[in-house]
Structure 1
């Protein structure tokens, strides 16, 4: 096991049936990271009949996923694909921008890549 810091920080704000989820990923994500994150999201969504979720995902310090964690990420996206409306991915580099575009082809939500977090928040409000 690596001593390098990794994990997920998550913030959830609720406005009626609308959610704003902020997500920061650091290091190489593990299955265990998703075991902590997913119940928080599920709990926040449990009592809302038709949630609409906008996300800011900060991946500037993300080094990737373990295979099982990548599967967890896909399962989370598929389980809530109709609830996610916009996902603003904040990162750096062509690879992260490319991954955002590829991911958006397979999901029904709008996804857009930003290098500036303030621009990402502004896009979510439009």
Structure 2
């Protein structure tokens, strides 16, 4: 499975590890859990760790856009941990789709990303 999802701080922080291509099936796992935590806490924080990430399949990209529009105000902070310039660019690309405070970290700064998100 190219992605794993873990919860921290009783679900207030969702940590998502992505590698390979993101699929619609990945969203089938991710969205219900995330929406459940948003209902429970109203605002959540997310840590997205990209490792050898190759983007989205077409269906997954559509699911991502729908999720972003629906939860525009529900994510308080978003940390993106990556390893390339285009992944760094994702932190800029995401800004119009959320009111979250977004920060990019290099893989060598994973612990700093965790401290910032928690």
1:57 Cα deviation after fit: 0.2
Q: In 2, Cα distance between the equivalents of 1:64 and 1:54?
A: 22
Out of 84, 88, 112, the residue aligned to residue 97 of structure 1 is 88
Normalised TM-score (structure 1): 0.81
1:120 alignment counterpart: 113
1:67 Cα deviation after fit: 1.2
- Which structure: greater helix fraction? 2
Runs of 4+ in structure 1 off by over 4 angstroms are: none
1:14 Cα deviation after fit: 4.5
Q: In 2, Cα distance between the equivalents of 1:87 and 1:31?
A: 21
Matches for 1:1-126 after TM superposition, within 5 Å? 6-15=1-10, 19-46=12-39, 48=40, 50-115=41-106, 116-125=109-118
Residues 46-96 of structure 1, C-alpha deviations (whole Å, 9 max, x = no match): 4x2x52211110012211110110111121222222110110000011111
Query: What secondary structure sits across from 2:72 in the alignment?
Result: coil
Q: In 1, Cα distance between the equivalents of 2:20 and 2:112?
A: 24
What do you get for the CA RMSD once the two structures are aligned?
1.8
Where in structure 2 are there 5+ consecutive unaligned residues?
A: none
Count of residue pairs brought into register by the alignment: 116
Where in structure 1 are there 5+ consecutive unaligned residues?
A: 1-5
